[in-house]
Amino acid sequence: MKKSQWKWLFISLSFSALVMVGVLYFTVDESTIEHLSQANPVYLFLAVLFHILSLGFWALRIQKMSASLGYRVHLTHCLNLVLANMLVAAVTPSQAGGEPVRIHELYRAGVPVGDATAVVIMERILDGIVLGALGAFAMLFLGSYWRSLASGFSGLSAMMYAAWIFVTLFVLVFVYSVKNPDHLKRALKWISRWIDRRWRLKRLENLLETIDREVDNFNQGLVKFVNHGKSGLVWGMLFTLLFWLSEFIIASLILMGLGQPAYLVESFVVQIIIAIIMMIPLTPGGSGIAEIAATSLYSLFVPSAIVGVFVLLWRLILYYLNIFLGILSSVIIVRREYLARAKKQR
């Protein structure tokens, strides 16, 4: 990583650690030790395995979507690029900042930049569709579970509806822009000029050119998948669903590891809300935001004495482990680039 990225990684880790210390300070008490005495490390180990499994589903999604466009990318390469992507996502606002890494690594595997961009853009769209569908399922079909959970926190219902509306609007804009890319360009340019009139954006013209280029890339990617990669969309949707379900079940496994009920339904609803919040660019890697959101929402049904420890373990698996694996993956990439450069100089 660049020097500036290491700086942002340090800021992200520091912010996350600071918030986590605050959470533990206000939640740990004398009964925490009693709860921890009932802990079962087997479930905690399973939680780690499920996270690694979810990263494997992500790698399979990239491999199958690339294959549908006619490119053979080894699964090990896809897994390595997913891990490297997780490290960069930890230093960029929200957790959706690793796209350039995935595009670059697909290019290094022989996928042209245009097709690599199409794969990565379609990944985000599939994430939005799946999260929107899961949110709709949570609101429409969980019935009494949803109402009982929302009754414990007056703002929870509003948060869930707001999150679902956000994802639904994202999908609707995507569907509309398929046939009307020029309308999307005009809308984005209008928003950019509106912001410029109030805050004087630097390099506004460059931003407008970027909008033109990215909307064209977006549309070309869609055309490629619709015309040549329909099987990739099917596989992509399947592995996207498996990825999110695997990620969501981790929280329940941690709760069971701490001697608590799994709270599958309640945790499912909360995880959807957190997943959508984490996609909004607020802090590097969503650090601090994730800890506060998880503490606030899980404290509705998890004993306060254990909720801080739960959030700590949850972030260790879904955030700090990502950084560790991402650093290992980045070392592999740097070594590969060094050897390739040395070979060219011979």
Per-residue pLDDT of the chain (346 residues; tens, 9 = 90+): 555 566 666 777 776 778 888 888 778 877 788 778 878 899 999 999 999 999 999 999 999 999 988 899 999 999 999 998 888 777 766 555 578 888 889 988 988 877 888 888 888 888 888 887 887 777 666 655 655 655 555 555 666 666 667 667 766 776 666 666 666 666 666 655 655 554 455 555 565 566 566 666 666 666 767 666 678 889 999 999 999 999 999 999 999 999 899 888 888 888 887 887 777 666 666 677 888 888 888 888 888 889 989 999 999 999 889 889 988 888 888 888 777 777 776 6
Q: What pLDDT does 135 receive?
A: 75
Q: What pLDDT does 270 receive?
A: 84
Q: What is the pTM of this model?
A: 0.81
In the chain, how many domains are there? 1
What string of DSSP letters covers 34-49?
HHHTT--HHHHHHHHH
What letter represents residue 8's amino acid?
Answer: W
Q: What pLDDT does 121 receive?
A: 81
- Cα dihedral 221, 226, 230, 233 sign: positive
Q: What pLDDT does 48 receive?
A: 96
What's the first-to-final CA gap in the chain, in angstroms?
26
For 24, the enclosing helix (H) or strand (E) is helix 3-27
Cβ atoms of 107 and 116 within 8 Å: the answer is yes
Work out the number of other CB atoms within 10 angstroms of the CB of residue 204.
14
Work out the number of other CB atoms within 10 angstroms of the CB of residue 104.
16
Q: Distance (Å, rounded) from C-alpha 245 to C-alpha 138?
A: 13
**What is the residue range of 289's domain?**
3-345
